[in-house]
Amino acid sequence: MAMNQKTKLRKFHQARWDEEIIFEMSVKGERGILVPAAESDIVGAIGDGVSAIPAGLRRKTPAALPEVNQMRVNRHYMRLSQETLGTDVNIDISQGTCTMKYSPKVQEHLCARNPGITEVHPLQDPDTLQGILEIYYKFEQFLKEISGLDCFSFQPGGGAHGVFTNASIVRAYHELRGDTKRDEVITTMFSHPCDAAGPMTAGYKVITLMPDENGYASLEALKGALSERTAAIFITNPEDTGIYNPRIEEYVQAAHAVGALCSYDQANANGMLGIARAKEAGFDLCHFNCHKTFATPHACMGPAMGAIGVREELAQFLPVPRVKFDGSKYHLDYHAPNTIGRVRSFYGNAAIAVRGYAWIMQLGADGLREVAEISVLNNNYMEKKLRAIPGVSVWYAEGKRRLEQVRYSWEKLKDATGVGTADVMRRMADYGLQHYWTSHHPWVVPEPFTLEPCESYSKDDIDEYVAVLAQISKEAHENPEFVKNSPYNLPVHKVPAPSIDEPERIAVTWRQYLKKRGKR
Amino acid sequence: MKKKPIAYPYIPNSVPAVKAQMLKEVSARDIMELYKEIPEKLKFKGRMNLPEPILDEYSIRRHVEELLDKNANTTDYNSFLGAGCADHYVPAVCDEINGRGEFLTAYVGDSYADHGKWQALFEYASLMAELLDMDILSCPLYDGMAAAATALRMASRAVGRKKVLVAGNINPDTLSVIRNYLKGIGEPQVAIELVKFDKKSGLLNLADLKAKMTPGIAAVLIENPNYFGLIETQAQQIGKIAKQAGAAYVVSTDPISLGVVAPPAHYGATIACGDLHSLGMHQACGNGQAGFVATFDDMRYVAEFKDLMFGLTETRVEGEYGFGEVLYDRTSYGSREKGKEFTGTSTGLWAITAGVYLSLMGPKGMEEIGQVIMQKLQYAGKLIAQIPGVKVVHAGPSFKEFVLNFDNTGKTVKKINKALLKYKIFGGKDISTEFPEYGQSALYCVTEKKTKGDIDKLVAALKAVTK
């Protein structure tokens, strides 16, 4: 029987395999794969090869890895994949701030099994890398146009890495000017935690501004924090609440007035493509998360790419190598005396660049704008429906339009029923939806949940999603304990408190688990 | 003429009738009303200057495939390039599992609906723990270079000192990553001093290490096998020197060596780190790198990991495994700038793949692959040493890579590598700029994939091009 079209609720049950830990299926002597042996001529000439290792550095006891036949290994991981609710199998509006859009399958057919990328070594002669270098070069031209900034690097391995790299560039910029007094970075509470932690890792003290009733930090608060010690501000806009700060240009001007740089975290760029850019708002640096905005797969948290962009005068600090084009050939340029150096091996995740390039080529200027517009339309549509659910509220900026996402609150539901956001989060997966993202810490908004119905989701998808949350609100009012004890239809059941943070209970590996539980 | 609206396959609500209905529902006459918070002045005027789109799937496929066809690859060429990204065999099951849509498109879902992802990442940590004979790993890092940099900062915090010693023979790119990562505003956050290496042996200079091993040193970092492919035969003594001074001993290793070479834990390492690339990832032009850091079960170090850790626990149903976040407040997700360094999206899919690889290989497979790599490398070395003018630079035992010197051929590595292309061979990485003391030298890599025939072809070609 198909989904009930009236209630829009599915009788979902996820695969539940009661699957063992891989070590528990070990059978002595089994092999998962055989290794190519050295030919007899080689053995004849060399012998066993390993006698060359001095006794003290030879491994004496084999690693206690499991011994499992190939079919069982394959079955094991297939089952684990079935116990994972990827975006390919659910309406993944849940992971707000993460832009869980459709990663087109054609990308995998282009990248995952094509020796033109999988079997390419990054240190090959550049003459034999002209395809990938052309893609890097053109991808850079695209992002320049999308952001308005002048130069890009694709070396950082993720968004947070991009922020750290931008903080390193800020540091190099002030250092070259001989200005080492600037040891502070300012960010806002609703900017991603990496906007605080990335600059901290680069050596900065971090000042975090709290939102006022508009949902963002006031210009006065920013001016109060800015000084000759400010190296930069790191900020998102719209922030993780979906609220756009309309005075952003004044913020940038205020920072510039004290000699600070402005770095734009564009993790929330999805609703902005072709609408508004880093350049016009005056930013000096920015970064895009290619796995968010440009549809590359999220891949259980990577491989990914934080594409960083800067104004021309900051290009001298970008990581090396950079891809250049002399009119006939592409090459890798390592020559940059003021570069921050490297942040990653080789030149970043090349196959992510291929995917991002392909996606932009499929859409063009009009298509990218359509992405932005529909993501904002979807969000406004869903917000209207969700506000009608008992227990849902939205903080800040009453009467203002949000862009591509909204941070909602179940505060009223919690007050009325005792069911909080963590309970609803667990329960929703019983209907086949990924657990939603609550909020980064500290919450600020009580009982938060953050939803982002990006352009990939149809009106029917959104209606189904809303119906599930409405159903859980109803369940919370009728039988709160039922919701609190969820989930029921997933691979496993609720993990009760207390937490597993006690040193005597911490078990992040199998050997530690056996030891801590007295089994080894 | 107004363009016909396109129903984009990836944007379902681009259908005009649906769009109109939704706009009505949100009481907006047109889309731009939804953007009214953005001041006119900041709006981008006009149309972005991007190429006209390739709308249909066949044509985009053809377009990108034609671009990728301009790359030569290591299936068509006989490659001896390594330096952190070697041409190892990738078992079919690895590709099969990391190609599963569920894993490929999952992200930060919680431990119930994403139970399988949590288990797979827990197993990755568990399998690596056995290979390394250590207890603790977090979710993976960007690559081996980032892992080395983080290991040094962890050690600095755990030991409470602000200076580290780094082997002068480490991969220069790794050193570049470390330098940027440990730098500070004016004063470095963690100062770095390089320890000399012995040119002849390619190994660390112990006298220099001892001289620099002052009481303020937090850690010593070496690679083993090192950048030149050499097994650091003094590894145990280096650890002793570090520990006697109260410093942590950090060893960056290539995990595929550990079936035959002792893991760092067996010769005194406090922290092991490295790159997962050799365990089931394609070269993919550098896209297959992923980092790991491992320690013993010592809370001084456990508390210093910067990335997520997934702990195995029990659910409310007896006998059922569940998972939970361990020490979440360590991370910047939990504590922003008060967490350890920063965390974020890194290389989860590759960690899962490394777990699949180790599950397939088992103890025997890891032992065998280590052995066959050593045999083939030594075979290549033996033949190449007979080529007039070409020298294997170091005498010590090597794993997977060695340095060849071409000074006596009168030719540069650059020229030789260009000439080898005609034989459809990728010669080794040119290190003559990185380590000028070795003259015209290159780092050659031999994996289990190289047959006798592949090696013999290299030898013949080297003979021909160095004449």
Pair B214, B235 in one domain: yes
Q: Is B162 in CB contact (< 8 Å) with chain A?
A: no
When pLDDT is cut at 50, 70 and 90, the band that residue A2 belongs to is: confident
pLDDT of residue A238: 96
pLDDT (0 to 100) of residue B2: 58
Chain A residue at shortest CA distance from B420: A125
Whether residue B185 lies inside any domain: the answer is yes
Domain membership flag for residue B4:
no
Q: Which of A42, A68, A249 sits opposite B376 (nearest CB)?
A: A42
pLDDT band at residue B256 using 50, 70 and 90 as cut-offs? very high
SS3 B320: coil
Q: Is A400 on the interface with B (CB under 8 A)?
A: yes
Q: Which residues of chain B neighbour A50 with C-beta distances below 8 Å?
A: 260, 370-371, 374
A115-361 placed in CATH 3.40.640.10 = yes
Q: What is the mean pLDDT of residues B302-309?
A: 98
Q: Write out pLDDT tens, residues B114-136.
A: 999 999 999 999 999 999 999 99
> Is B395 within 8 Å of chain A by CB?
no
d(CA A197, CA B343): 8
First CA to last CA across chain A, in angstroms?
Answer: 48
Q: Which tokens belong to A235?
A: 């900020």
B 201-230 near A (Cβ less than 8 A)? none
Q: Which helix (H) or strand (E) holds A168?
A: helix A159-176
The closest alpha carbon to B223, from B370, B84, B88, B374, belongs to: B84
- Which residues fall within 8 angstroms of residue A193, CB to CB, at 6 or more apart? A440, A441, B332, B333, B336, B339, B342
Is A502's pLDDT higher than 90? no
CA separation, residue A466 to residues A1, A401, B75, B102 (Å) = 22, 19, 50, 23
Rounded-to-integer distance, Cα A264 and Cα A285, Å? 6
Q: What percent of chain B has pLDDT over 70?
A: 100
Q: What is the pLDDT of residue A497?
A: 77
Same domain, B204 and B339: yes
Min Cα–Cα distance to chain B from A316, Å: 15
Shared domain check, B388 and B349: no
Residue B433 is assigned to a structural domain of this protein: yes
Share of chain B above pLDDT 90, in %: 99
Report d(CA A173, CA A185) in Å as an integer. 14
* Boundary (domain end) residue, out of B307, B328, B358: B358
Confidence (pLDDT) at A518: 86
- For tokens 């005075």, the residue is A247
Q: What is the pLDDT of residues A337-353, one digit of tens each?
A: 999 999 999 999 999 99
- In this structure, of A48-57, A511-520, B163-172, B307-316, the range with the lowest mean pLDDT score is A511-520
Question: Chain B contacts of A39, Cβ < 8 Å?
Answer: 451-452
Nearest chain B residue to A206 by CA distance is B337
Whether residue B236 lies within 8 A of chain A, CB to CB, comes out as yes
Question: Number of A:B CB contacts under 8 A?
Answer: 729
Number of structural domains chain B divides into: 2
- CATH code, domain with B387: 3.90.1150.10
Residue B26 falls inside a structural domain: no
Among A508, A515, A516, which would you mutate to test the B interface (most chain B Cβ atoms within 10 Å of its Cβ)? A508
Above 60 in pLDDT, residue B1?
no
CB contact under 8 A, B379 and A100: no
Query: Contact at 8 Å (CB) between A283 and A149?
Result: yes
Which of A195, A301, A380 to probe the B interface (max B CBs under 10 A)?
A301
Contacts of A155 (CB under 8 A, 6+ apart): A165, A308, A319, A342, A343, A344, A347, A348
Q: Does the interface ipTM go beyond 0.90?
A: yes
Please check whether residue B313 lies inside any domain of the structure: yes
Cβ contact A171–B370 (<8 Å): no
Q: What is the pLDDT of residues A340-396, one digit of tens each?
A: 999 999 999 999 999 999 999 999 999 999 999 999 999 999 999 999 999 999 999
Does B365 sit within 8 Å of A34, measured CB to CB? Answer: yes
The mean pLDDT of B382-404, rounded to a whole number, is 97
Q: What does the angle CA A90 – CA A95 – CA A100 come to, to the nearest 5 degrees?
A: 65
Q: Where are the extended beta strands (E) located within B122-216?
A: 136-137, 163-167, 191-195
Residue B172 resides in a domain: yes
- Is there a domain that residue B426 lies in? yes
The per-residue pLDDT for range A432-469, each reduced to its tens digit, is 999 999 999 999 999 999 999 999 999 999 999 999 99
Q: Do residues B82 and B195 both lie within one domain?
A: no
**pLDDT value at residue A180:** 86
CB B136 within 8 A of CB A145: no
In whole numbers, what is the pLDDT of chain A averaged over residues?
A: 97
Looking at B333, B358, B383, the residue that finishes a domain is B358
A112 close contact with B: CB closer than 8 A: yes
Same domain, B125 and B272: yes
Among residues 244-283 of chain A, which lie with CB inside 8 Å of chain B? 244, 246, 248-249, 274-277, 280-281
* B231-250 pLDDT per residue, tens: 999 999 999 999 999 999 99
Cα(B414)–Cα(B392) distance, rounded to whole angstroms? 18
Task: Tell me which residue range forms the domain holding B166.
Answer: 92-358
Q: How many CB atoms lie within 10 A of CB B221?
A: 27
Contact B345 A301 (CB under 8 A): yes
Question: Which residue in chain A is spatially nearest to B107 when comparing CA positions?
Answer: A300
Assign A134 to helix, strand or coil: helix
As a dihedral over the C-alpha atoms of residue A147, residue A151, residue A154, residue A156, rounded to 10 degrees, the angle is -90
- Which residue is closest to A191 within chain B, CA to CA? B336
